[in-house]
Chain A
Amino acid sequence: SQQGEEDPQALSIQEGENATMNCSYKTSINNLQWYRQNSGRGLVHLILIRSNEREKHSGRLRVTLDTSKKSSSLLITASRAADTASYFCATDSNTGNQFYFGTGTSLTVIP
């Protein structure tokens, strides 16, 4: 399976701390995406990083991609209680017509 796997499965931090989540995948990709999902809701797209990119920033989010290690990380700096959610990485299929999602990292930010 090409499915991404996030690590850790659960993460609990204090507000203001940084949160780092990792994603590993098995086969080559064209791009990798990170999504956030609040409980019982749909997913919200955060960042897309292409296979020829190594790092991307969006506000308090920083994503890195290491294609040699088939891994990516999502860093959330200066976390807020509102960042509490599940975070998923998604890798594209070889047809590019679908994305494979991992099982997610559940982040809890304690006020």
Chain B
Amino acid sequence: DTGVSQDPRHKITKRGQNVTFRCDPISEHNRLYWYRQTLGQGPEFLTYFQNEAQLEKSRLLSDRFSAERPKGSFSTLEIQRTEQGDSAMYLCASSMGYGGYTFGSGTRLTVV
């Protein structure tokens, strides 16, 4: 376990389709975060889990977005009925609750 893994690295989907991304955090980390980043911008917070509990969600996380962390380990982020505006890099990060985040390499979503 050398870092945060995200799958897939790239996803191209047609508008209106559903997509699901997976994040495997560092195993000792109890906190997991999802961020979204568009070109030329910094990451924007989407949601945060402590163990399996989703404790905070951004207003950016519309009802088309849902995230889960069922056993307090890996997490999934699903986007339903994708729109072109959903095209972005989706970043997952984990932490122990102190110190910095460890980020994954991200999933780049392109909605066509």
Q: Which residues in A have some Cβ–Cβ distance to B below 8 Å? A: 3, 33, 35, 40-46, 48, 88, 90, 95, 97-104
Chain B residues with a Cβ under 8 A of chain A = 4, 6, 33, 35, 40-45, 48, 55-56, 58, 89, 91, 93, 99-106, 108
Closest A residue by C-beta to B50: A97
Given A43-B43, A103-B41, also A98-B56 (CB < 8 A): yes
- The answer, among B40, B45, B99, for a CB contact under 8 Å with A98, is B45
C-alpha gap A99/B91 in the complex (Å)? 13
Q: What 5 new A-B contacts, CB under 8 Å, besides A43-B93, A45-B101, A98-B45?
A: A40-B108, A43-B43, A88-B43, A101-B35, A101-B42
Most buried by B among A43, A97, A99, A103: A43
The answer to whether B101 touches A103, judged by C-beta atoms less than 8 angstroms apart, is no
B104 x A33 contact (CB < 8 A): no
Asked if B43 and A98 sit within 8 Å, CB to CB, the answer is no
Q: Which residue of B lies closest to A4 (CB)?
A: B42
B residues in contact with A97, CB < 8 Å:
48, 55-56
B42 near A104 (CB under 8 angstroms)? yes
Please tell me if the beta carbons of B40 and A101 are within 8 angstroms of each other in the complex. Answer: no
Q: Which residues of B contact A35 (CB under 8 A)?
A: 100, 103
